[in-house]
């Protein structure tokens, strides 16, 4: 796949894809005889992983460290697992915070609905 096709498929700009290559998140992207990027299945799986992690808030530096460990080989499995477990814990904390915020928003919305329906007269903002 060309960079334009990958960009469209994963909704990532070509500049971002080039940046990911430059910093080592995506390595060894195959090229045509003319030097044009020809992303293969392995490269696309890596892009999917990066996009998933970034959308969850995983920092670029963490991804660089993780990918470096992956490319070092099987001897780094324990380190990779530790890094992923740390990220999972951070996400669980973030998820708890998001759930608490959603609960508060749902409460406020329900209060406004009650006010609109005349079931409640007053509401003090917190």
pTM: 0.81
Domain 1-72, architecture per CATH: Orthogonal Bundle (1.10)
Please state, in angstroms and rounded to a whole number, the distance separating the CA atoms of residues 45 and 29: 12
Q: What is the pLDDT of residues 1-24, one digit of tens each?
A: 999 999 999 999 999 999 999 999
Length of the chain measured in residues: 126
Q: What is the pLDDT of residues 44-66, one digit of tens each?
A: 999 999 999 999 999 999 999 99
Nearest C-alpha neighbor of 38 from the set 62, 22, 17, 67: 17
User: Which residues does residue 31 pair with via DSSP β-bridges, in sequence order?
Assistant: 37
């Amino acid at each position: 796949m060309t960079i334009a096709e990958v960009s469209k498929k994963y909704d990532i700009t070509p500049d971002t894809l080039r940046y990911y290559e430059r910093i080592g998140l995506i390595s060894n992207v195959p090229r045509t005889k003319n030097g044009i990027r020809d992303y293969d299945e392995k490269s696309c799986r890596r892009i999917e992983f990066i996009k998933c992690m970034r959308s969850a808030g995983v920092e670029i530096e963490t991804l660089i460290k993780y990918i470096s460990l992956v490319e070092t080989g099987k001897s780094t499995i324990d380190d990779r697992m530790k890094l992923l477990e740390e990220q999972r814990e951070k996400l669980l904390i973030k998820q708890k915070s998001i759930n608490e915020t959603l609960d508060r928003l749902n409460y406020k919305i329900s209060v406004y609905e009650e006010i609109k329906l005349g079931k409640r007269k007053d509401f003090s903002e917190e």
